[in-house]
Chains A and B, each alone.
Chain A
Amino acid sequence: MTYGIKYYLVRKSCVSYTVVMECVKKPVVFANCGLFGISDDYVEKYQSLDQRFVRNKSSTFFFEATGDSMEPIIHSGDVLIVDRSMTWVHGNIIVGHLDGLFICKRLLKSPDGLILRSENKLHRDILITEDIDFLIWGVVSGLARDLRGF
């Protein structure tokens, strides 16, 4: 409860009024006791996609996939969730950098060197030998796709 001041006029005669000030108690918010007495203790946060798919905010970046090389897993226009904190293992889908371009491929180990493999069989494997300038940027840990318009 807080206190407010209420003003009103009291007519003294036909020409004079007196202003009366009165201190009144007034509730600020009319709070209901809740649905069937369920208290605030049970309120939990909404789920958020970050909570589930961005495990490490400071090391997670987003990329946009283009092209068809990773079909049918990844479509052109998909958002790739890339987590730099993960160490890649054989078979992970990664974002790498090759010949001045970012690429998204499956990364495999082989006796001759690393292999970049596309899901789409129309694209050939790329063998990374020592003399090729290649950099693993991060591991793709998730995928977001907009299905509106599909």
Chain B
Amino acid sequence: MIYALVDCNSFFCSCERLFRPELNNRPVGVLSNNDGCFVSRTTELKDLGVKMGEPYFKVKALCEKHGVAVFSSNFALYTNISDRVMTVLAEFAPELEVYSVDEAFLNLTGIKKDLNEYGREIKERVFQYTGIPVSIGIAPTKTLAKLANGIGKKSKKAQGVVVLMEEHLQDIALQRTEIEDVWGIGRQNSTKLRTLGINNAFEFKNYRNDSQIQKIFTKIGRMTQEELRGVPCFELNTVVEKKKEIMCSRSFGSAVTDLRDLRESIANYATSACEKMRKQESACAVIEIFCHSDPFRYSEEQYYAKDKIKFLTPTTDTRKVIKYAWQVMENLYKLGISYKKAGVRLASLTDEANIQYALFEERDDIKSINLMKVMDQINSKEGSGTIRSMGCGVDNKSWKMRQDLKSPRYVSGWNQLPKTK
């Protein structure tokens, strides 16, 4: 087998740079929802010592001093560019697994060309078509491909493409890879492995006490070990699995104390969760609501609450979800608390097609199903929120996310196109 892992370099930042080429040699960072902390950094920003997940307010002064270009996350842009990258990649292999928004596994088994050259060709094509720089690792197993990719990112000489098809090359790479950097080995497991004297991937590969490994972290650990030895155990997951639960939650831009604001935020989260649910053609039987105060404000009264409601017949109707979510919210609400975050989780998802109907509970009638369909169609065409429940509010956005540094909608809609002189 031959697998390739293609990984976009500092993906969110690269998307921002695509429409701001003047930032190409400057440090760029993208913040999480609510402008909380860094979720994507370019090498220049890493070199300044800014860590992944570092809170923005802590390094704001540093960023200003070094002229760091900081952005709020613009997920509409990133998913659009991601889709383009994946489409280009799909042309290079018969099988492709979209592993995350910025990573994909390709099955290159049977490719007759020189793999190094082929990798370079992929890299150049993706950059020409989409403007996104990628690194590529090619190896006989997924775990080794991931590892090769990691090496390629660090090494300047490799120029983003590393092929590890021969064992002696694999061994050198394994020796250079710390045990916690191996794909699928978590922090907990790596601590345990280190107590066994296993510090890097090479030592793990050659550790012969199979039952010990099995004991520490079950079958997955053994499979990972086999993969490092060049025996493929993980196949490509080309079928997109449906999510088993859908969650939508946000921190508020400023503290919320009023029940009305909380209800409004819950209605919005429920709406977006329901949209996602209908998109994957599921229906939910459990709605869970949670809300809590700001754990970093020690001086204030802390409150954390969650509760759920169960239906006998699963529903897809946003209005029904909002209605019951509000009931739960009203029970959870406590006066005098400054809420920082709230969220909605839809669980017990079943396929819309094989819903089991309960005898004594009203189910979604054909009218409501059609209404939801029409709403989804309009909203996907005219922009989300064009048609929504009154409960989502009109303009009162005291609870809304803070996204002060968001880039324009370059690739969606028509009123914020990039302009040329």
Q: Are B417 and A97 in contact (CB under 8 A)?
A: no
Q: Are A100 and B417 in contact (CB under 8 A)?
A: no
Q: Are B129 and A65 in contact (CB under 8 A)?
A: no
Q: Which residues of chain A come closer than 8 Å to B418, judged between CB atoms?
A: 61, 63-64, 102
Of residues 51 through 107 on chain A, the ones whose CB sits less than 8 Å from some CB of chain B are: 56-59, 61-67, 69, 79-80, 84-85, 95, 97, 100-104
Q: Which residues of chain B come closer than 8 Å to A80, judged between CB atoms?
A: 420
Q: Which residues of chain A come closer than 8 Å to B414, judged between CB atoms?
A: 62, 79
Q: Which residues of chain A come closer than 8 Å to B420, judged between CB atoms?
A: 63-66, 80, 95, 101-104
From A102, which residue of chain B is reached at the shortest CB distance?
Answer: B420
Q: Are B421 and A104 in contact (CB under 8 A)?
A: yes
Of residues 75 through 134 on chain B, the ones whose CB sits less than 8 Å from some CB of chain A are: 83-85, 87-88, 128-131
Closest chain-A Cβ to B138's Cβ sits at a distance in Å of 22
Report the bound CA distance from A79 to B418 in whole Å. Answer: 10
Knowing A59-B130, A85-B128, A135-B21, the reply to whether A103 touches B417 (Cβ < 8 A) is no
From A101, which residue of chain B is reached at the shortest CB distance?
Answer: B421
Closest chain-A Cβ to B10's Cβ sits at a distance in Å of 18
Interface residues of A, count at CB 8 A: 25
From B88, which residue of chain A is reached at the shortest CB distance?
Answer: A58
Q: Which residues of chain B come closer than 8 Å to A85, judged between CB atoms?
A: 128-129
Q: Are A79 and B129 in contact (CB under 8 A)?
A: no
Q: Which residues of chain A come closer than 8 Å to B85, judged between CB atoms?
A: 58
Please tell me if B367 contacts chain A, counting CB pairs below 8 Å: no
Q: Are A63 and B129 in contact (CB under 8 A)?
A: no
Query: What does DSSP make chain A's interface, helix, strand, loop or mixed?
Result: strand
Knowing A58-B88, A137-B21, the reply to whether A102 touches B419 (Cβ < 8 A) is yes
Please tell me if B387 contacts chain A, counting CB pairs below 8 Å: no
Please tell me if B47 contacts chain A, counting CB pairs below 8 Å: no
Report the bound CA distance from A62 to B130 in whole Å. Answer: 13
Q: Which residues of chain B come closer than 8 Å to A67, judged between CB atoms?
A: 421
Q: Which residues of chain B come closer than 8 Å to A56, judged between CB atoms?
A: 129
Q: Are A57 and B421 in contact (CB under 8 A)?
A: no
From B411, which residue of chain A is reached at the shortest CB distance?
Answer: A61
Q: Are B129 and A66 in contact (CB under 8 A)?
A: no
Closest chain-A Cβ to B85's Cβ sits at a distance in Å of 8
Please tell me if B22 contacts chain A, counting CB pairs below 8 Å: yes
Q: Which residues of chain B come closer than 8 Å to A63, judged between CB atoms?
A: 417-420
Q: Which residues of chain B come closer than 8 Å to A101, judged between CB atoms?
A: 420-421
Per a CB cutoff under 8 Å, which of A59, A69, A100 touches B84?
A: A59
Report the bound CA distance from A63 to B411 in whole Å. Answer: 9
Per a CB cutoff under 8 Å, which of B22, B88, B131, B419 touches A100?
A: B22
Report the bound CA distance from A97 to B21 in whole Å. Answer: 7
Report the bound CA distance from A62 to B418 in whole Å. Answer: 8
Q: Are A64 and B419 in contact (CB under 8 A)?
A: yes
From A134, which residue of chain B is reached at the shortest CB distance?
Answer: B21
Report the bound CA distance from A85 to B421 in whole Å. Answer: 22
Report the bound CA distance from A80 to B417 in whole Å. Answer: 10
Closest chain-B Cβ to A52's Cβ sits at a distance in Å of 19
Of residues 265 through 301 on chain B, the ones whose CB sits less than 8 Å from some CB of chain A are: none
Q: Are A58 and B84 in contact (CB under 8 A)?
A: yes
| CB 8 Å contact bits of B37-76 with A (1 = contact, 0 = none) | 0000000000000000000000000000000000000000
Q: Which residues of chain A come closer than 8 Å to B417, judged between CB atoms?
A: 62-64, 79
Report the bound CA distance from A120 to B414 in whole Å. Answer: 26
Q: Which residues of chain B come closer than 8 Å to A137, judged between CB atoms?
A: 21, 131
> Given A58-B84, A58-B85, A79-B414, list of 10 further CB < 8 A pairs?
A62-B414, A62-B417, A63-B417, A64-B417, A64-B420, A66-B420, A69-B421, A102-B421, A135-B21, A137-B131
Q: Can you list 9 A-B pairs, Cβ within 8 angstroms, ordered by A?
A: A58-B83, A58-B85, A58-B87, A61-B410, A65-B419, A67-B421, A85-B128, A102-B418, A102-B419
Query: Sorted from nearest, which 10 A-B pairs have the closest CB atoms?
Result: A59-B129, A104-B420, A58-B84, A58-B87, A64-B417, A97-B21, A102-B420, A100-B22, A103-B421, A64-B419
